Structure 1
Amino acid sequence: MNVTLITNDAVRLDVACAEGQNIMAAAEAAGLYPPAMCHEGSCGLCAAHVLEGSYEMGPHNPQAIPTGPGGVLLCRCQPQGDVTVALPYADAQISRQQIPEREAVITGLKEVAAGTVALSLLLKSDPVMGQGAEFVPGQYMELSVPSLGVKRAYSLANLPNWEGHLEFLIRLVPGGAFTGWLSARAKVGDELMVRGPLGSFVLDEASPRPRVLVAGGCGMAPILSMLRHMGEFQDSTPVHLIYAANREQELLPDSELETLRAALPQLGVTLAVWHPQPGWFGFTGTAADALEAYLIGTALVPDIYVCGPPRMLESIEAVALDKAVPETQLYAERLPH
């Protein structure tokens, strides 16, 4: 069977697909690595649309399926004959290099906010890649525990470094296979497999426009990495952070924000809490509410970077559209469903 992938910049890629093989696996076997995260039909990052041909969908989260006719997840879509698939991204976002996979050891695991843990890892030295942790701020890694047989993707919160350190902010999900292991059994010294870096949610360094970075919950991880990057390079671009949570206990400690302010004197911060306790002095409302208030009060149309749950991203996109922010100035990374 043949699968024709068409990117949104009109590049056509033909991939052979074996019977019973999903499109993502076929593409990777051919040396093409489209954006993907969970490979389990859960996160929705590999969403696409089948234009022609018949197919079957394996087990998946219905909420992750994109709207419109032929909406599929590449990691769960099994062609029943030749198919043509429209991809929602450009050819440049499809990697042609196999994603590195390395061993790592847990060096730290602590709760940093209600329901959120900070996981610190140290990569083992690799004969080809050496010791360093190379990535672009905003990217993510896939973490897996061999004994569990599951893998999950999490954004990096720290900066690239030669020592091999990786930091993640992870929301503990009740009943979650990976986070259940983290909260109940994981300990310093345990080993994991790390695959990556992955993702194209990174700063447009060439843009002269001011930036608004919007984070919901653990979506703060890639935003934190971006802000640390700006601070490290003394980037003077005007930047405003909107950091949102349902309750104030879910926000990171003030000390982390103070460190960012010290490195970035131009940084503005809005802490938005949807359901605060009495005595809350920050912004009351959602991330979208806070963004709308910010855009009303500024004359310049900024680049907007947002990471959070799907519903938050949808509301942010609606506000940006209403306030005439061009689609090309909106960069989004959604957390898994």
Structure 2
Amino acid sequence: MDILVQPLNRVIQAEPGANLLEALLAAQVPMSYSCMSGRCGTCRCRVVDGDVLAGGGIDQRPLDVQDSEVLACQTYVTEPCTIRIPEPDEVVVHPARIVKASVAAIEDLTHDIKRVLLKPAKPIEFSPGQYVQLQFGPDLSRPYSMAGLTTDGQFEFHVRLVPGGRVTGYIADQLKVGDAVKVSGPLGSAYLRRKHAGPILCVAGGTGLAPILSILRGIAAEGLASDIHLYFGVRSPRDIYGSDWLAALQTANPRLNVHVVVASGGDPGQHRCGLVTQAIEEDHPDLTGWRAYLCGSPPMVEAATQLARQRGIAPDHIYADAFYSQGN
């Protein structure tokens, strides 16, 4: 059975019913992957033409809609098809791991955001912008994005406290230095693409600043020469945090432009007021050739994604992680 792999324009062979990721790897097609179980999203690709069976186990379902995204590790080929893989020159492979860690520090960043530092017993390699699953105890598990880099030797997380949230309530009221935490990952496909030398749009809403900081720190660490425009959206002035970190990154990289956008109650003399999408619209009529990293609430990510596409960023060059509260 033929599988045409774009953008390589290469045909590979697979048996009917073969797992798509296994077929790609067996043919030495460069492909990112991590967990192999459909959780991390790293092996995401598109079905351009043909039918596949998407999902795993009892959740398998025929998929015959062209240009549909699938996870290669959870997809099985049933007939000749055309698959589009993302950026074969930007492959990352960080095998998913589960390690024990201990709480090294807990700090207040704002009235409802805490900075949690974990010291892992063994390192977990990840790319800037990825996240992990943290388990603090039975039924106390939630995904959080790292704000730092693999080389830090510790994990940094920014946790917004959700009223009535089970996990965030535990972090606020019971978690203490020295406590054990289980870390699983890495997860996520909105990681830094290091080979892109053109301009970059970063949009962070609230604690969506954490993965964006990781990406900015990764750019600084590798000395990448891109013009970067960060739009950091918050609800009110008291929700602003990370100013010192951003200032230090600007000092290290004069090509980093930081825009703090306050939705309500802001002072126009100190920062911009309104929505991040409005600020981007005002500043950038054309984003053709840019890459975009978007992290925050689902409505913000959806609106920013739509705007990025309207202004010329290719869908494959928009890397987004939406933060769902999950009642936690």
Q: Which TM bucket (shorter chain)?
A: 0.7 to 0.9
The residue number in structure 1 matching 2:146 is: 156
Aligned amino acid, residue 293 of structure 1: E
Listed as ranges, the matches of 1:1-337 within 5 Å are 32-36=36-40, 79=58, 83-85=61-63, 88-89=69-70, 91=72, 99-124=96-121, 126=122, 132-146=123-137, 148-161=138-151, 164-278=153-267, 281-296=270-285, 301-337=289-325
- Residue pair 1:33, 1:98 contacting (<8 A) in 2 also: no
Following superposition, the deviation at residue 286 of structure 1 comes to 1.1
How far apart are the structure 2 equivalents of 1:223 and 1:200? Answer: 13
- Residue pair 1:133, 1:165 contacting (<8 A) in 2 also: no
More deviation, 277-286/313-322: 277-286
- What SS is found at the alignment partner of 1:173? coil
How far apart are the structure 1 equivalents of 2:93 and 2:256? Answer: 37
The residue number in structure 1 matching 2:78 is: none
Aligned amino acid, residue 34 of structure 1: G
Following superposition, the deviation at residue 253 of structure 1 comes to 3.9
Give the TM-score normalised by structure 2: 0.73
How far apart are the structure 2 equivalents of 1:96 and 1:138? Answer: 14
Following superposition, the deviation at residue 333 of structure 1 comes to 1.2
- Residue pair 1:133, 1:166 contacting (<8 A) in 2 also: no
Following superposition, the deviation at residue 100 of structure 1 comes to 0.6
1:202/1:97 Cα in 2 relative to 1: closer, same or farther (>3 Å)?
closer
- Residue pair 1:216, 1:309 contacting (<8 A) in 2 also: yes
How far apart are the structure 2 equivalents of 1:149 and 1:286? Answer: 35
The superposition leaves residues 155-180 of structure 1 with CA deviations (integer Å, 9 ceiling, x where unpaired) of: 1001112x631101111111111111
- What SS is found at the alignment partner of 1:113? coil
1:287/1:278 Cα in 2 relative to 1: closer, same or farther (>3 Å)?
closer
Following superposition, the deviation at residue 78 of structure 1 comes to 8.0
- What SS is found at the alignment partner of 1:195? strand
How far apart are the structure 2 equivalents of 1:232 and 1:206? Answer: 14
Following superposition, the deviation at residue 321 of structure 1 comes to 2.6
1:104/1:307 Cα in 2 relative to 1: closer, same or farther (>3 Å)?
same
Aligned amino acid, residue 147 of structure 2: A
Unpaired segments ≥5 residues, structure 1: 1-5, 16-30, 38-45, 54-71, 127-131
- What SS is found at the alignment partner of 1:324? coil
Unpaired segments ≥5 residues, structure 2: 7-11, 20-34, 73-84
- Residue pair 1:113, 1:253 contacting (<8 A) in 2 also: no
- Residue pair 2:124, 2:186 contacting (<8 A) in 1 also: no
The superposition leaves residues 91-117 of structure 1 with CA deviations (integer Å, 9 ceiling, x where unpaired) of: 368999862100000011111023111
Following superposition, the deviation at residue 153 of structure 1 comes to 0.5
Give the TM-score normalised by structure 1: 0.71
How far apart are the structure 2 equivalents of 1:13 and 1:317? Answer: 34
More deviation, 197-206/237-246: 197-206
- Residue pair 1:32, 1:97 contacting (<8 A) in 2 also: no
How far apart are the structure 2 equivalents of 1:228 and 1:236? Answer: 13
Following superposition, the deviation at residue 324 of structure 1 comes to 2.6
How far apart are the structure 2 equivalents of 1:312 and 1:241? Answer: 14
1:335/1:101 Cα in 2 relative to 1: closer, same or farther (>3 Å)?
same
Identity %: 26
- What SS is found at the alignment partner of 1:186? coil
Aligned amino acid, residue 260 of structure 2: L
